[in-house]
Every structure is written in structure tokens, then in C-alpha cells.
Structure 1
């Protein structure tokens, strides 16, 4: 069966290539009627690149292109190679995240394509010879059904131009072939003689113009020309009769047309001429573009306005800021971010969240009036741009008023919802300022406002730039620390609460700076996880911890287990199970000697492949611990869907469990939940004997300063491995 399928596919490909060859179009010079189509596509979809791509055996040739200097590229790994295998529109919202295209030179290199949409170019016989496609260097969140239909319409137009071109090249003198094309076309195809008298009128023409074939044949083409244009039409006929070439031959134009009932409507018109039996004939292909023009107007609005709130979007804001920048106009930019909006989505659903956003936009619009441009940047973030004013006092006062308006209760059905807001303001007084800098300054001010708490307006001041400098400094310092081997592994004991025997340890990374000493993880871990070092450092952590666990197990602690915290970046490489398996093999560890710790953020920021990776790790015997359990929003769903073996109760509940009945209730609920799912439980942050005794009723294991602080491998070994007792009763005191 596989051989038959391969043979069938090869035969179909051979027929497809033969169909492509019949158009004799590969390697030909640009032609305006095709160039006009890609130019139209770029305007409609606001895409920097538009192409008519014809897919040959080993390369793709661009009959028309805009925004791309290449005439052709290799077929291997190309978008259009996939597009010719389907009869609908191929949409790739983010090529960098699509394994089919991530390694393509046009994605990984210039021009760094991220978005692609391609509609098939289908011959009358059903062969797909290429695609009409658009590309963008930015990814997109969606490509609507209307947009796909418009792209398919453009592809059909391009195919009809190719058909007309093929007819002209072959010098067809057979009326039968013309009629066969006209009969199946969705567009009006009309044939006229040298006097512009209609001699052929297909079914589509009957539908579009309202005349039956019997009524139209023999009439002048002027029956479909509006009265106001008939004089110029007749003048064109006269020029042709005098020996001048018709002006519209070979061009694609949009002109008004007239229906039988007298209504005018727009058509897209393409004219051609040929000789049939020694007589001159004219052909016209016409398409009613009323719906398309309406769709273009709708798409234009969608391109400029936020679909949900119907206020300006980021694109319009950018255009206004660029214009003000070029003119040197003083300006003020305010960024507004909602506080508590995520709680609305989580508790009431996204439909309620959308209603809140609409109401907030209305309140902002009423508060701003005509003073400035209101736009939605995305999510729950809005912007106010005021040209011709750079008054920080007025701007901050406006921010206070807008926040007060936002914080008024929002009535949703029979309940009231409350959201807050924070705002960052930046002003540009000088003649020379940059839009990007103003946006960055306002963003820093917003960050500072949110750090202060809810309902704050913060004006940008130069010292806020030190925040960015600090981030850059830390990121640079981490790279140097990695190169100088300043990163170390520390280990904190995990004990059985029943007998205080050490059962394992959590491996924790530390930065031992030559001048500043040990740097707190919170000061560098966020930057490390977001850097390119995340993958190599995380692999080093894993292998170092596995090697150390192997040594301690060989010294008599055969049941010793090491816990390793995972980074989000490790799941993006798609090889985590292989990396873990290799580490276990290299150091002779069984799977149960390793426990990998994940958090809710890791799951939320990873794709669906994380489930498969975790399942493979569980098959190897590796434990999966859910860290910081109880502090997130979607923990119950994740507990149901992911192969977790242990819950780690967050220290925020343990630290006051002996003083707070509420925290004790939460701990009890987590323990009961774990029992129902047959999961183990370990408590973090145990610091007092009372906490240890109390948590013993809920957890099998514990971790915290009562038993031992994180320490390097040498000190850990002396305290818990080679000492006379493996118990944390005395070892914890020696730390």
C-alpha cells in the first residue's frame, strides 16, 4: 500500500507540473496586470509582502512580487510547497513557532517572515500550480474568514489572467475553447465583434448584468456602460476604428457598470482581443466587486480600529506619533493598564471581560473627549496621545480623572464588578524627540506606577532609566558569571516528618560573585530564565544535581532523591526527556532518584507539547512535583491534566499555619485533594517545631530552615551524608 500511495502521489505531481508547463509562464518578465493584483493585496491586507508564486519541481518562481527582491527561491521548506497540497487557504500565524517553517532561511534569516497566508491557484482541471500569498514580518493573532475569502478571490483573478494569457500565447482561434472557459467561469465573460456588438454572453454575465443571453447578443456593449461614461466609451471605439490600439487591452481596471434595472455597481474589468476566422474579436472578463469593496472598507476599518472596543489600535497610535515626531510637535503619551482585570476573566469568563473592556473604553473616551487620541494597545492596556501639549501637571491630573472614572463600579447583569488602573505619563517638549523613546519612557513610568500599588499615576523622570540599565547590567553579569564559573549548586534537605530522616534535597542555583558574595536568586533568576543562557545553564543544573545525587547514594543513602527546578525554556527545545534520560544514564541513577519541579507559570507559558514531555519523564520513573501549590489560578485544572506525583505546599501557607485558622484550612484542603489524586505532599518553609508537628498531620515530608538551610555540596555532605546520623534533628543544628 505505501508503494501504491507513493506512485499515486508521484503521478499527481507529474500531472500538476505538466499543467503548470502549459502556461509557459516560468521565468517570464513581469506583467502589469499581475503586478496590479499583488499591489492590491498589499493594500487590502496591510502586508509588506505579496506574491503570485508558481511552484515548479525544485523551486518556486514569483510571477509577480512586491516587498521581496527575489525572483525565485528553492522549493524545499517553502510555504507555497505546503499551500499547493490543499484546496483551502494555508494560514501560518507565527512561522517561528511552526516546526514546518521555523528553519526556513526566509524565517530564520532576512526578511524574517512570521506570518503567511496563501490561497491556491487552481486550474480549470483542478490542478494547483501555485498560490497567491501574503507575508508579514510580524506574527498575527488571526486571519478571518472574510480575509481568507478575499485572498481566494484574488487567487481566482490571477488564475483567470493566466488562462487569458495562455489563450493569447497559443493564438487560440477556436470559439469552442473560449466558450468552454466562459461556461464554467463565475465571472462574466463576454465576446464582441469589431463593432463592439455582443456575440457571446455567458451565464455569469446573465446573473451579474440582468440580461439573458438572447437579450444581450446583438446589442452594443454600451448596454452595460453607465450613461455618464458612454461618450468616452464611444470615443474609444472611434479611436480603435482609426487604427489606434485600445487603451484598456491587457489592463485590470475597476470601473462602474450598469445593470438592466438601471443600478450602477463596480466591476473589475479585463479586456483582450484576438483573431477568429480572420475576424477581430474582443473579450471582456468582468467581476462584480461590490462585496469586495465593502470587505475592503471593513478590513480598512479593522486595520485602524480595535475590533472589540472600536477605538483606535496600536497601528493608528504609531502613525500619529510618527507624524508628530517628524513635525517636531510637543506631545504627551499616557499608558493606562487595568488592575484586577485578570480576576474578572478568571471568575466571570472572557465574555464578561470583553464587556468590561468596552465600558472602560467608553469611559476613557468620555474623559478625554477631543483632547487626544485614545487607542487600545492590546489586552487591558490603553494609550492616550495628546499632540501640541507637553504639560506634565495637566497630564497627571487627567490620569487621576481617568483612573477615577475607570474605578466606578461596572454593572454586569445583576452584579457589580470593580477594576482599578495605573498610568504612566511621558512628555516631549523639545523639537527633536523619537516616538520609540517616548513610548519606552511612558512604559517605564507605568511599570513604576504599578510597582507602587493600584490607582497611581507616575510621571516619567530620567532616573527611571536606571531600571533598564540595571536589567542590562544583571544580564551582562550573568553571562560573565557563567563564563567564569561563578554559578554554584546549593542543596536544602528534605526530611520525613515521621522520623526526621533526610530523604533527599532540593538543588538550588546560587551566584557566588567575587566581590559581592552570594547574590540572592531573586536578583538574577528572572533575567537568567529570559536569556539565551537559560537552556545551557538549566542543563548544567540538572547534570550537576544528578552527579551529586549519584555520589551520595553510593555513600550509603540509597534512597536519596534530588529535586531540580525546571525553566520554561527547557520545554521549548522539545528534547527535555532525552536530556534527562542521558543525565540519568551518565551518572547511573534510576528515574525515581530525580524529581523535577514545575510551576503554574511554566505550564501557562509552554505549548501543548509539555504534556507529552512530562508523560515521557513519568514513564522513565522521574517524579514531577508541582511547586508553590495553592498560589495560582488554574491549579485544579492542571492537577487533573498533568502527570504530577507530588504537591509542594507553598511557604506562604506554612509560615503562619500554627497561627491562622484560614491557612490551616487551606493546608487541610490541599492534603485532602492530594489524597484523592494519590499524590505525595511536602511542605516548604517549616521554620519552627510547632509548624513541623502541625504539618506532620498533613504531609509526609517537610523542608525548611528548621531542618537545614541551603548550603554547598561539601557542607551538606558533612551535615547529612557522612555524619554519624542522617537525621535532621542534629544535622540542622550544625548548619
Structure 2
């Protein structure tokens, strides 16, 4: 668990916080409406306004959480991290986040998975705390629009906190009714204990559509419709009796009445203080009509996927939870549909939408009235079958549904097809809670996808063990990046005619603190598929270029460095510019670098070709790695501006004993000559292989015959005459 650092202005921040008169046993009731709205708006069970003290956190308002049972230490607080950021802090799945995966709020009974929090600032811009929403289920769908809605609610909370500060300050020095209220964008009305208005600002006059001086003949009652006047009178009477509004429950629904007779939903915070021995009230008002309209739209669509009419993801979770809490058995089937991207590309999103609608209809035809059908994501669907725990029957239903989905569909006269993998899980055998059973079905469909297109798989406990291992491995990879556990080894590349060193291929290794030095086979597949690939790829490029620059300055002026590139790096449109910037930073000419890509990466999309073309135009070398093992080598030779073909080691190792492997090597070399490309043989281990490649016209090679991959210092000791080693180059 990473503890949050203190704010750079911590002393000033704590002084500002003290001016609000809040504490563990002094919440702010006016913020209750804010957290209620947040919980409803984002369909989460927990929302809170947390204030960050010196070593602890206290709730100014909260819903859906037992405040007495929560770890309120600052070190465990997510919000203590959030106040250090200027934007909304979003944690899609805390169990996979290096900062929080072992946090007691994640591992304990609170079971936090999703968190989003936005700082709440004082009038001077100092972070006091955060408005946050929390869910025990992960959420990767929190959008930029959602973040803006959360910021709007935080601004509402900030306004109400500021009124609290004004109230506290007024107990010592009553505020002047002219400034800053007169110029505030917040509507404010001051009135006495009899409901007589004694002043308002321009924002309040505008809100009620009166002239600025009209307050002189108005009362609080005249600003409310008839049906709400008794409630307001009762509220004022309670405050007069108690001498404070603290602890008084505010009406949940109040309306304002404008001068033209129109009504609007009114949000308000009420404060009072004694001024010259008389109780004076200050109301902070807001027109909630736009927010109410938005909430109504959210309520309308929260239970239903707008496009297909299927249940929404949140509704499916609630329905599953409701079924299981009643003690009933249930089966959950998850479907993952393949092929939608190709349809969107070929027929546009309108065509893809028609396919999604048809998928739901076909699921309904198979499931009939037995269960609930939901759209869980862009191409993911689920079926809940209550009172059913027979896995074999559920598997048959899943297979029937997958077969129905796979039937051709005519769109604009074109037959299109998609396929679906299915995963099946049942309660109570595979879990007693909705999150657990749905998660089990999700693991099963993931296993089905690994088995092949259109497959169905039933959950087994081993899948959960594998998932925990993957999660642990992902966390370890995050640690490896943050703690600089990755290192580069270098394997020499030589001229097969002269035996001279011409360069090296940079190869990544992992110095694991417990398992020792790991080869790429142990971690590269997980790294390539995860979110850290781009970060690690950028580090490899920079480190390898720094090393090449050092060796070129110390005995190898023509040294060439080969660097493997992850496919995800090409998805960043800045990739070509970043490569050129690295070369410039280390003073390397473009031809000192050779990027190695596989045919799989080359087939990805046009962004790869565009980046490679730009880099080749500047002189950077590009090599096809493992050539001959992919699916489109010949066509790619015509399209991609590459400089070199690397003959895969499997052909090199077999060419002296297999006529077929030898024929492949000859064919590759003939093609390379035809395309005027250089070649390099990989995996050379014997003199016979060396002689054969040289005889066939391959001029460069690498392999154990020349040297195994070595750390930079050992590589230099063996292959390069270097007078000295700066610490940065051999770290």
C-alpha cells in the first residue's frame, strides 16, 4: 500500500480546514443531499464527502457506508490521494492498482473496487477533502462526461461548505450583507426569524425573476408555493427554538415560486446566527430543475440498454443480487461476440448496431421467458436464469444461443456473420453473491475465448486460481516498472564473412527479487497484453540507444542497435516523433537504430505503416523479425519499406538436416535479393550452419556460436574495447 504524501501546503491547508468547524462528530447536514444525488446519479452504493485531517479522515456527509466501521486513517484513505490531483481521480479496479491492491479498504469488509473522487477546495484554492463515489464492483466505463458531473456536484458541495464557514465566522464577526454576497453567483437571501426578507443579492432576484429592490415587500412565504409554506414555517420555527439549524432535517422536496407564477425545484442550504440578539437566517439557493431532468433521464435509462432494449449492466447486477439474496439458485451465462469490429469497419456503425439488436433478439428466441438478457459491454451479453443450477442444461442453452448468434444475417443485401464464445457459472456452487457468480461466468468465457471461436466453457475453481495468479503477476509487473527491475542484455550481430562485430540486439530481462533473472518467455506475453507495454517499450528504446551511443563513442563508431517494438507503441500517433527525439537526445544518426517488428504487428493497421514509412524516410532501419513464421510475409515485403529480413532460428537450426528448412532459407534469401533487402540469420549455433548461410549468400548472423546475450558491461568486456564505463551506461 502506498501512503499518500502530504500536500506541499499542508500547514495552510489544515488552518483553512479548521475554519469550517467540522470534525468526526460534527458532520454537515446540508451536504447530505449532495451525496444522495451522487449515489443515484452514478448508480453506486456509496458516496461521501471526506475531509482530510492531519492523520485521519472524517465524513462531512456519507451514504451507504457504516462510518464507524471504516478505517479512517489518512494512510488508508483514497481521498487523501485524490486531494493532491487537479482532476478527478479514477480507480477502475483498486485490486489491480499498485497503490491500493493491499489497502485494508480493498482487502477488508468494505471491499472497495471502483473509486472516483474530486477535490473540494477552500476559497483560497487549498484542498480540504474530496467528494467520492465507491462501488464494490470494478468499473471501466466511467466517462469524461461522468467526471464532469462529479465535478459539478463537488462545486455544489464547495458552495455549501463555504456557507458553513461564513456561519462559523459570523459567530465571532457577523457578515456584512453587501459584500461578498452582493456579487456572488450563488443566490443568497437573508431573512429574520419571522420570515421577513431583509436583503438578497442580484443572483437571488434573477432566480425569482424580481427586480433587485423588490425584496422589501416580500417574505419567505411569498417565494414558495402554497403546498410548501407550512414545511418552511415549521423549519424556521425549529431553528428559532434550538437557536441553530444543525441537526434539523431539511425538506427533501421544496419548490420555489417565481414572480410570474412558475415553479421550479429548489435546492437550498440554511444557516443562522445571532446578530444584535436576533436570530438571522441566510439561505443559499439553487435551481435544481436541470439536475432533476438529468436524473430523470438517468433513471429512465439506468435499467435498459438504449440500443437493444436488453437490461443494462447495472440492472443485471441488481437482478442477480436480488435473486441470490432470496436464497434461490441461478445460472449466469456470459457471451463474448467476435467479428463486430469488422462489420463496423465494412458497413459502418449503423450496420453494427443492427447486428447488436439482432443478437439480443436471437438470445430472446433461445432463452424465451426463462431468464433476463443484458448487454454488459460493447460486444458482451449475459443471461440470468433464476431457479436453475444445472450446469449441463445451462451449457446446452449457451451452445444453442451461440449457434443462433452465428447464423448469417443480411444487412443491406450483404450476409454477415459473427461468432460468440460462452461461459457458464451457477449459484450456489460457484458463488453466493452476484459479483462472485458473474465473475465466475466471466472467467469461463475468457477461457472459452482461449480455446477457440464459438466455444463454450463451464466455470471450475482452477480458473479463479489462474485469475488470481494473473492479477498477482500484473501487480508484480507494475512493481518491476516502478522499482527498475527490468534490465537489457545484448546479443552480438556479426559479419559472417569477416567475423567483425557490426551491432547487437537489445533483449529485455527481469531481475525478479525472489525468482532471479527471468527470460522474456516468462513474462513477455503478459507484458505485451497489459497496460505497461508502452511504458516498458519506451524505456527499452531509450536505454538501448543510450548504450549504442556510448559504444559508438568508445571503439565502435559504426555500431548498430536492434530494438524490438511492442505493437501498442504504434497506436500512439507520436511514436515516430518520439523515436526521432530519442536519437537526437543521444546524438545517434538514424542508421544506428534498427527497429524489429513482427508480421503480426505489421498486420495491425495503417498506423503502423504510416509510422514506419516516416521513420524509414529519416533513415531509421526496420527489420522483419522471425521472418517466415507469420501469415502474410510475401505481401508485406511489397508494402512495407523495410531494410532487413531476420531469418527465423527454427529454419536456421533445421537447414543442415532438413531439405525443407534449407529450401525455405534459400527462398527467403532469393526474395531478399529480389527486393534489395539485407538479411541476418538468427540462432546460429554451429560452424556448419555458419558455412551454409554464408555459402547461400547471407552476410550477417547472430546466435550462441558468437555469443549469448550479456549485460552491457560483460558484452563490452568481451566484444568492445572500452577505456571506461560511466555508471549510467552500465547500470
What range describes the TM-score normalised by the shorter chain of this pair?
0.5 to 0.7
After superposition, residues 553-702 of structure 1 pair within 5 angstroms as: 557-563=499-505, 567=524, 568=528, 571-573=534-536, 575-577=539-541, 579-580=543-544, 592-598=559-565, 600=567, 603=570, 612=578, 616=582, 620=588, 621-628=592-599, 631-634=603-606, 635-640=608-613, 645-648=621-624, 667=634, 669-674=635-640, 677=641, 679-682=643-646, 684=648, 687-688=662-663, 689=666, 692-694=669-671, 696-698=673-675, 700-702=677-679
Q: Where does residue 405 of structure 2 map in the other structure?
A: 406
1:255 lines up with 2:253 in the alignment: yes
Whole-angstrom CA distance in 2 between matches of 1:95 and 1:446: 21
**Count of residues in correspondence between the two structures:** 626
SS at match of 1:179: coil
1:91 to 88, 91, 96: 88
Q: Where does residue 506 of structure 1 map in the other structure?
A: none
Deviation string 1:187-207 (CA, Å, 9 cap, x unpaired) is: 432222332222324333333
The structure-2 alpha-carbon separation of the partners of 1:613 and 1:37, relative to structure 1 and needing over 3 Å to count, comes to farther
Whole-angstrom CA distance in 2 between matches of 1:13 and 1:531: 30
- Following superposition, the deviation at residue 332 of structure 1 comes to 1.5
Deviation string 1:384-417 (CA, Å, 9 cap, x unpaired) is: 1111123456534543553354345556567553
Q: For the Cα contact (< 8 Å) 1:335–1:443, is it kept in 2? A: yes
Q: For the Cα contact (< 8 Å) 1:193–1:281, is it kept in 2? A: yes
Whole-angstrom CA distance in 2 between matches of 1:341 and 1:197: 65
Q: For the Cα contact (< 8 Å) 2:329–2:428, is it kept in 1? A: yes
Whole-angstrom CA distance in 2 between matches of 1:411 and 1:296: 39
The structure-2 alpha-carbon separation of the partners of 1:447 and 1:191, relative to structure 1 and needing over 3 Å to count, comes to closer
Whole-angstrom CA distance in 1 between matches of 2:498 and 2:696: 16
Q: For the Cα contact (< 8 Å) 1:592–1:623, is it kept in 2? A: no
1:32 lines up with 2:28 in the alignment: yes
Deviation string 1:71-130 (CA, Å, 9 cap, x unpaired) is: 7579999442443xxxxxx13445999xxxx98x6688555797544255363xx75554
1:64 lines up with 2:60 in the alignment: yes
The structure-2 alpha-carbon separation of the partners of 1:292 and 1:183, relative to structure 1 and needing over 3 Å to count, comes to same
Q: For the Cα contact (< 8 Å) 1:335–1:425, is it kept in 2? A: yes
1:80 lines up with 2:83 in the alignment: yes
1:312 lines up with 2:317 in the alignment: no
The structure-2 alpha-carbon separation of the partners of 1:234 and 1:346, relative to structure 1 and needing over 3 Å to count, comes to closer
SS at match of 1:557: coil
- Following superposition, the deviation at residue 459 of structure 1 comes to 5.2
Q: Where does residue 488 of structure 1 map in the other structure?
A: none
- Following superposition, the deviation at residue 648 of structure 1 comes to 1.8
Deviation string 1:197-230 (CA, Å, 9 cap, x unpaired) is: 2232433333333454555533442223333344
After superposition, residues 177-188 of structure 1 pair within 5 angstroms as: 177-188=176-187
SS at match of 1:371: coil
Moved more, 680-689 or 20-29: 20-29
Moved more, 218-227 or 110-119: 110-119
Q: For the Cα contact (< 8 Å) 2:82–2:88, is it kept in 1? A: no
The structure-2 alpha-carbon separation of the partners of 1:648 and 1:234, relative to structure 1 and needing over 3 Å to count, comes to closer
Q: For the Cα contact (< 8 Å) 2:52–2:74, is it kept in 1? A: no
Q: Where does residue 151 of structure 2 map in the other structure?
A: 151
Q: For the Cα contact (< 8 Å) 2:628–2:647, is it kept in 1? A: no
After superposition, residues 140-179 of structure 1 pair within 5 angstroms as: 140-145=140-145, 148-149=148-149, 151-171=151-171, 177-179=176-178
The structure-2 alpha-carbon separation of the partners of 1:642 and 1:371, relative to structure 1 and needing over 3 Å to count, comes to farther
Q: For the Cα contact (< 8 Å) 1:182–1:202, is it kept in 2? A: yes
Q: For the Cα contact (< 8 Å) 1:26–1:54, is it kept in 2? A: no
Q: For the Cα contact (< 8 Å) 2:119–2:127, is it kept in 1? A: no
Deviation string 1:9-50 (CA, Å, 9 cap, x unpaired) is: xxx989987994894658786333265256334454437564
Deviation string 1:524-578 (CA, Å, 9 cap, x unpaired) is: xxx99989889999956x42x43x55xx789951144444566445653453245
Segments of structure 1 that go 5 or more residues without pairing to the other structure are 1-11, 84-89, 480-526, 656-662
TM-score (normalised: structure 2)? 0.68
SS at match of 2:285: strand
Whole-angstrom CA distance in 2 between matches of 1:380 and 1:22: 50
Q: For the Cα contact (< 8 Å) 1:425–1:460, is it kept in 2? A: yes
Segments of structure 2 that go 5 or more residues without pairing to the other structure are 1-7, 107-112, 509-523, 652-660, 706-731
Q: What's the RMSD between the two structures over aligned residues?
A: 5.3
The structure-2 alpha-carbon separation of the partners of 1:42 and 1:335, relative to structure 1 and needing over 3 Å to count, comes to closer
Whole-angstrom CA distance in 1 between matches of 2:334 and 2:292: 35
The structure-2 alpha-carbon separation of the partners of 1:576 and 1:142, relative to structure 1 and needing over 3 Å to count, comes to same
Whole-angstrom CA distance in 1 between matches of 2:424 and 2:225: 56
Deviation string 1:361-392 (CA, Å, 9 cap, x unpaired) is: 45435654543222233231211111112345
After superposition, residues 22-421 of structure 1 pair within 5 angstroms as: 23=19, 25=21, 30-33=26-29, 36=32, 39-40=35-36, 41-45=38-42, 46=44, 48=46, 50-53=48-51, 64=60, 66=62, 69-70=71-72, 78-83=81-86, 90-93=87-90, 111=105, 116-118=116-118, 121=121, 123=123, 127=125, 130=128, 132-134=130-132, 140-145=140-145, 148-149=148-149, 151-171=151-171, 177-212=176-211, 216-234=215-233, 252-260=250-258, 261-299=260-298, 306=305, 309=308, 311-348=310-347, 353-354=352-353, 356-365=355-364, 367-392=366-391, 394-410=393-409, 415-421=414-420
- Following superposition, the deviation at residue 136 of structure 1 comes to 5.0
Q: For the Cα contact (< 8 Å) 1:59–1:76, is it kept in 2? A: no
SS at match of 1:293: helix
Whole-angstrom CA distance in 2 between matches of 1:192 and 1:94: 44
Q: Where does residue 109 of structure 2 map in the other structure?
A: none
Whole-angstrom CA distance in 2 between matches of 1:450 and 1:570: 22
Whole-angstrom CA distance in 2 between matches of 1:389 and 1:342: 34
Whole-angstrom CA distance in 1 between matches of 2:596 and 2:170: 71
- Following superposition, the deviation at residue 331 of structure 1 comes to 1.4
Whole-angstrom CA distance in 2 between matches of 1:145 and 1:132: 18
Q: For the Cα contact (< 8 Å) 1:596–1:622, is it kept in 2? A: yes
SS at match of 2:193: coil
Q: For the Cα contact (< 8 Å) 1:328–1:430, is it kept in 2? A: no
- Following superposition, the deviation at residue 252 of structure 1 comes to 5.0
The structure-2 alpha-carbon separation of the partners of 1:118 and 1:445, relative to structure 1 and needing over 3 Å to count, comes to closer
The structure-2 alpha-carbon separation of the partners of 1:474 and 1:388, relative to structure 1 and needing over 3 Å to count, comes to closer
The structure-2 alpha-carbon separation of the partners of 1:423 and 1:171, relative to structure 1 and needing over 3 Å to count, comes to closer
Whole-angstrom CA distance in 1 between matches of 2:405 and 2:503: 52
The structure-2 alpha-carbon separation of the partners of 1:194 and 1:335, relative to structure 1 and needing over 3 Å to count, comes to closer
Deviation string 1:235-292 (CA, Å, 9 cap, x unpaired) is: 5666778x56576786654332242455544322222333444444333222221222
